[in-house]
A = this chain, B = another copy of it.
Amino acid sequence: MSIENLHAVPNLTTVLTGPLRKIEQTLLDQQSSIETWFRKQWRKTPAPFYASVDLRNAGFKLAPVDTNLFPAGFNNLNVAFMPLCIQATQSALEHICPDANQVLIIPENHTRNTAYFESLAMLQEILIKAGYATKIGSINPEFKTTQTIELESGRSLTLQPIIRDGDRVGVEGFYPCAVLLNNDLSAGEPDILKGIEQIIIPPMRSGWAHRLKSGHFSHYQNVAEEFAAQIGIDPWLINPLFTTCGEVNFMKRAGEDCIAHNVGNLLEAIQKKYDEYGITEPPFIIVKADAGTYGMGVMTINSVEEARELNRKQRTKMSKIKGGQAVSQVILQEGVYTFENWGSEQAVAEPVVYMLDHFVVGGFYRVHTGRGRTENLNAPGMHFEPLSFAEPCNAPDEKMPPDARPNRFYAYGVIARLALLAAARELDELKRDDN
């Protein structure tokens, strides 16, 4: 499959519509009270500066499966939404850092990932157009000199080595008052950033060294329950069930009993909900490293037997995540089918929604021909085609059917914001733990 135009209008079909149309209708009908509810939540717990949320749309269920507080993939957004990104960035930075005129972006340590560089260039462009002089300072010790990279998009990206000068970091001649992390700090807080007087956005505690997926999904569960009570739906329709196992060592086969046992319990719980809604597909489970990121350390499990009979390859794959950290805790999460298909080849598609502050600014579909409906679509080395959303998720149209594009995208924006709210509460809790 080749996608001629990355900014083409997605024309996706959902095989199973079932209750989802009902969720979408409920969200539409209650739009005004939903927005009011969100406003109240953001006043209590302000949204993080930015986030992207991976959703899975099973037709009968729409749920977040991953929340990234250091989003990449900005290059996959519809260029038509650039003004929306600019406005949201202005609004966000005015609150977080009213005096800032300049921003230093700290990127991931990648040295050759051109897709990431395209995203970084787009992020820099958004900040510049929002009126902030912006430079990029890498904490990768391999970057010893300034490098300018010409990108396929026609953009050029200048990466400079970060410098620490007393209590400030910057790049040569540029020590702004705001530092924007686009590095998930999987390897922990870098020494060069410790104790700096500049404001770090989002705070370093947002890094994966401090977060656990299970912590996020515990908060999400509460958010989903409160929201579901508010609009009168079964929270399960928007909330993936999960459980955890601590102290797992895949290579030493320690903790496998816990996994097998929990897989059994979880499959049973899912089957019960499937029966309730008349869903005939078999349930499945996604096992992930609890502190993992970047799609590493993820596997699909369909049965207790499968959990007991992990082969060497699976165990090796699960034992390491980004930065080489060993996996010691895992989260077992209800697998959510992706039943949105694209094109004549019925490629599998997974929506990713982007937010700046509490504003939804667009998204894209990961479209994938080589993968099944139960598989993780975001894994290292995996090729997917990005397909920009045609609409920015904040403009529902009550005159159209609930599954019409603007309304489906609105639904995506609502669920993604629930995950954003869970992240906001999670960071708030980490902050309170710090004090």
CA distance in complex: A36, B35 (Å): 30
By CB atoms of chain B within 10 A, which of A34, A39, A43, A82 has the most? A39
In the complex formed, the residue of B with least CB distance to A33 is B101
Total A residues in contact with B, Cβ cutoff 8 Å: 35
A68-98 vs B, Cβ < 8 Å mask (1 yes, 0 no): 0000000000001111101110110010001
Would you call the interface of chain A mostly helix, strand, loop, or mixed? helix
Contact A130 B392 (CB under 8 A): no
Asked if A131 meets B83 with Cβ closer than 8 Å, knowing A39-B94, A39-B98, A43-B98, the reply is no
Contact B395 A129 (CB under 8 A): yes
Contact B394 A101 (CB under 8 A): no
In the complex formed, the residue of B with least CB distance to A130 is B35
CA distance in complex: A98, B130 (Å): 25
Asked if A34 meets B131 with Cβ closer than 8 Å, knowing A39-B94, A87-B87, A90-B359, the reply is yes
Q: Does A128 contact B (CB under 8 A)?
A: yes
Chain B residues with CB under 8 Å of A82's CB are 395
Contact A32 B80 (CB under 8 A): no
Q: Does A396 contact B (CB under 8 A)?
A: yes
Report the minimum CB–CB distance from A136 to chain B (whole Å).
16
Q: Does A132 contact B (CB under 8 A)?
A: yes
A10-53 vs B, Cβ < 8 Å mask (1 yes, 0 no): 00000000000000000000011111101100010000000000
Q: Does A133 contact B (CB under 8 A)?
A: yes
Asked if A87 meets B86 with Cβ closer than 8 Å, knowing A31-B131, A34-B131, A396-B129, the reply is no
Contact B131 A101 (CB under 8 A): no
Contact B87 A32 (CB under 8 A): no
Partner of A83, one of B39, B94, B394: B394
Contact B36 A131 (CB under 8 A): yes
Report the minimum CB–CB distance from A59 to chain B (whole Å).
26
Chain B residues with CB under 8 Å of A87's CB are 84, 87-88, 91, 359, 394
Contact A32 B98 (CB under 8 A): no
CA distance in complex: A167, B222 (Å): 40
CA distance in complex: A94, B91 (Å): 11
Given contacts A80-B80, A81-B83, A91-B359, 7 further A-B contacts (CB under 8 A): A31-B128, A31-B131, A32-B128, A32-B133, A35-B131, A35-B132, A91-B91
Report 13 cross-chain contacts, Cβ distance below 8 Å, ordered by A residue: A32-B102, A32-B131, A32-B133, A35-B90, A35-B131, A43-B98, A80-B80, A83-B394, A87-B87, A87-B88, A90-B359, A129-B395, A129-B396
